[in-house]
Amino acid sequence: MFETKDVTASDLDDALAGLPPGFAVGTLDQARLVIGPTGCTVLMAQSSGTTPELESSDLAQTTRLNLADHLSWVPFVDALVVTSENNTGSIVSVELDLLVPLLVDGPTMLDEETITCLTALLAERRLKPAWTIAT
């Protein structure tokens, strides 16, 4: 029987290190928040014994609700599960090797002013639930 390889938070970090300037990455335990011209995205790694689709959805919703405390308009916060291979299940997922192109090549959703504001909230640790900026 073929077994899929788990994706770890470290794998996410390695992939996200390839993002170009203009993107910010936040961390919260095993989750990652990516802020950039293509929008805000909560990422969770697919690993055995977890329910990352629920965790990423909950984090995305909580993060978006918190943004309303800081912004006059609130961007949508996407939730994605990062997998090691094509996932045909009911979750919104992306393969690890396609993650950076997906985040970089999408349509521009956020202007520079909004990205700067969101990145500042992240750096100042005011973006809840307790996101911190990746170093």
pTM here? 0.89
pLDDT at residue 2, rounded to an integer: 43
pLDDT at 48 > cutoff 60: no
Give the domain range for residue 47: 9-133
Digit-coded pLDDT (tens) for 72-98 = 888 899 988 888 876 655 568 889 999
Closest CA to 125 of 85, 70, 54, 80: 70
Average pLDDT, rounded, for the chain: 88
Asked if the model's pLDDT at residue 60 lies above 80, the reply is yes
Rounded mean pLDDT, 62-67: 94
pLDDT of residue 90: 52
Residue 38 CA to residue 36 CA, distance in Å, equals 5
Does some domain include residue 87?
Answer: yes
> Is 69 domain-assigned?
yes
| 41 assigned to some structural domain | yes
pLDDT value of residue 1: 38
In a domain, 1, yes or no: no
Residue 3 belongs to a domain: no
Q: Does 81 map to a domain?
A: yes
Tell me: the pLDDT tens digits for 10-38? 999 999 999 999 999 999 998 999 999 99
CATH at 84 = 3.40.1350
Judge whether residue 40 has pLDDT over 80: yes
2 located within any domain = no
Instruction: Please tell me the distance from the alpha carbon of residue 34 to that of residue 78, in angstroms, as a whole number.
Output: 10
Residue 4 counted as domain residue: no
Total number of domains in the chain:
1
